[in-house]
Amino acid sequence: MGLSEELRSHAAPIWEAAQRHPFVQGIGDGSLPVEKFKFYVCQDYVFLVEFSRVLALASARATVLEVMSRYASLLDATLNGEMELHRGYCERFGISRTDLEATPAAPAAHAYTRHLLSVAHGGTLGEITASLIPCQQGYAEIGLALAAQGEPASQPLYAEWIRMYASPEVQEIASWSCALLDRLAEDAGAGERDRMAEIFVTSSRYEYLFWEMAYTMQEWPV
């Protein structure tokens, strides 16, 4: 068993809670109120801006050209593919690009991105990779699970979202990241492997909190 599979098994209760979250299930059956989805799209856009910075730092940290190139490709796909999907959603919602880019981060989004950036600035490539997988593989698993249930005919926007994250491209990204983590873990010492595990679990918890944040439309209390 590689480290990625070991960590996924260890964090299974957190991932299962995320997949059962009413926000996720509401996308799947079309029952999620559109206002909550709008809130999520704007917050996820804010998240992806910082996620892109982490991908750039991962590319810079890589010592193997194939890995450097792949992280650079993921950066391009995030900035010009995934974020374009979000911009398209907001255009249909009547949210301008200027307003979208001025969205303030909600507490959970702020905390999650600070966690990722802290790892990216101070951690090894293995630790950075461990921090990213709960997002990459988590969305891939949710996309496949919701697609298997059937797209919600009542909400074509949600169906589009499901197709995005159930796509072969997203599945392949998750597989590549897990394989990279397994390779990096082979050369890591016990201390680094322990940090990878801790980081992976923390990112997994933030994934759950992100869904909760979107469902409650979380705001700063003061």
Q: Which of 50, 82, 127, 207 is catalytic?
A: 207
Q: Does the active-site annotation cover 178?
A: no
Write out the two tokens for 174: 């998750």
Q: Does the active-site annotation cover 135?
A: yes
Helix ranges, the chain (H): 3-10, 12-20, 22-29, 34-61, 65-77, 83-93, 97-101, 107-122, 125-149, 156-166, 168-186, 190-216
Q: Using CA atoms, how far apart are residues 203 and 147, in angstroms rounded to an integer? A: 24
Q: Which of 90, 135, 151, 178 is catalytic?
A: 135
Among 146, 191, 193, 140, which Cα is nearest to 170's?
140
Q: Using CA atoms, how far apart are residues 185 and 127, in angstroms rounded to an integer? A: 9
Helices 190-216 and 12-20 meet at what angle, rounded to 10?
A: 20
Active site residues: 135, 207
